Structure 1
Amino acid sequence: MTTYEATTHGISVRVEPRFLDEHSEPGDDHFVWAYDVELTNNGDRPVQVMSRYWKITDANGGVEEVAGDGIVGKQPVLEPGEQFRYQSAAPLPTPSGIMMGYYLVHSADDQLLQIEIPAFSLDSPYERRRHH
């Protein structure tokens, strides 16, 4: 499994995507991936995740944007050295795509910081050639 990682303002974001063949219907142009995300506060002050933004692009260039409060229904506080892990999923109408985005976190010194989610490739065995 490929791991993608980015660090912004002392917050590391690691993502591991995987294709879910058992939830996909290639004959109906329905392909599903799960992705595990781990956020780590490498700084010396607590931060709180306030919101998220995702840009999901399929192999045909179709774009879906997803934004909202928190992550998986929570606005976790990460103390220095703490991690928060969660899992989510994304369906596409094509056998490959790419996702990227950011989290907005509130820092202890009352700043709103944008934390990069690294771009990661969504590839399936149904794609003959890799686009990403």
Structure 2
Amino acid sequence: MHSITLKPFTQFNTIESIHTAPRRSCFGVINPPVRLNCRTIARSSETDGGAGAGAEADQTQQSSSSLFARNQTYALMKQQMELAAKSEDYEEAARLRDSLKLFEEEEPVLRLRGLMKEAIANERFEDAARYRDQIKEIAPHYLLKCSSDATTLGIRVQVRSVYIEGRSQPLRDQYFFAYRIRITNNSNRPVQLLKRHWIITNANEKSEDVWGIGVIGEQPVILPNNSFEYSSACPLTTPSGRMEGDFEMKHIDKVGSKTFNVAVAPFALSTLGDATDNI
């Protein structure tokens, strides 16, 4: 195993690995995989018939399409601002910055999430609940965080995702998301990670299952009170989506131990980022 010094868990190194199968998917063209360095670290409804139902379905579809278009615009503006700054066109970068700020103030989901966060910080929980319910009506999946944390049989899996503007091309419906995973063995038995399984769902609710051996070419052994971290990435053809899955593991301190699955709780892939605090 190659060892490097990793940045804090909520930050990302340059992403060099992606899912290895399938090579081409409904979520975008996947490049050939490249091995990524890692390290092991120690630590102490019912529906109505007739025209009414049809009208409601059309309204829902139009709302979803409108939200998709706004997300696409937001992602494109952020990328243009970054490119303007890199090319030292600071006047254009400033113009785009101001446009983004105005967009964030007018975009319903971003505005409501900001209001909800402010209400929580000021302990106005009734207001926070109202904003949350309004978000549910507009875009329920946007309440899903860009992070997750789940424990199965003493094995804790923490995930954090970020949108990578530099590797995305919104005009071509190509959105690139990186995610970082920390697996911590809080049990008193050593385990080995054998296989991975991901369920990747885009904004159109189109899902794909991805299976693989180990992670980033490794089948790491994680001792008690130790953690294993790695970074990977996922391309989508929509500005948002979600991931969830599980790792197949086994205890290696006893011959013939049966394998078991460790859950990876759902987390969002979003160009809008996360209105909540990091892990």
TM-score normalised to structure 1 length: 0.91
| Cα drift, residue 62 of structure 1 | 1.3
Do the aligned residues in 2 keep the contact of 1:100 with 1:118 (CA within 8 Å)? yes
Matched residue type, 2:267? F
Do the aligned residues in 2 keep the contact of 1:9 with 1:113 (CA within 8 Å)? no
1:91 aligns with 2:235: yes
Q: Report the equivalent of 1:62.
A: 206
Q: Which aligned runs of 4 or more in structure 1 are off by greater than 4 angstroms?
A: none
Structure having the higher Rg = 2
Q: Report the equivalent of 2:18.
A: none
Do the aligned residues in 2 keep the contact of 1:15 with 1:35 (CA within 8 Å)? yes
Q: Report the equivalent of 1:47.
A: 191
Q: Report the equivalent of 2:226.
A: 82
| Cα drift, residue 44 of structure 1 | 0.2
Do the aligned residues in 2 keep the contact of 1:6 with 1:13 (CA within 8 Å)? yes
More strand by share: 1
SS in 2 for 1:80: coil
SS in 2 for 1:16: strand
1:1-132 superposed matches below 5 A = 2-108=146-252, 109=254, 110-125=257-272
Partners of 1:3 and 1:122 in 2: CA distance: 9
SS in 1 for 2:232: strand
Do the aligned residues in 2 keep the contact of 1:30 with 1:94 (CA within 8 Å)? yes
TM-score normalised to structure 2 length: 0.44
Aligned residues: 126
Seq. identity, %: 38
More helix by share: 2
Partners of 1:63 and 1:92 in 2: CA distance: 11
SS in 2 for 1:71: coil
Structure 1: segments with no counterpart, 5+ residues: 127-132
| Cα drift, residue 118 of structure 1 | 1.1
| Cα drift, residue 65 of structure 1 | 1.2
Partners of 1:124 and 1:80 in 2: CA distance: 36
Partners of 1:62 and 1:91 in 2: CA distance: 14
Name which structure has the greater RCO, CA cutoff 8 Å, separation 6+.
Answer: 1
| Cα drift, residue 111 of structure 1 | 2.0
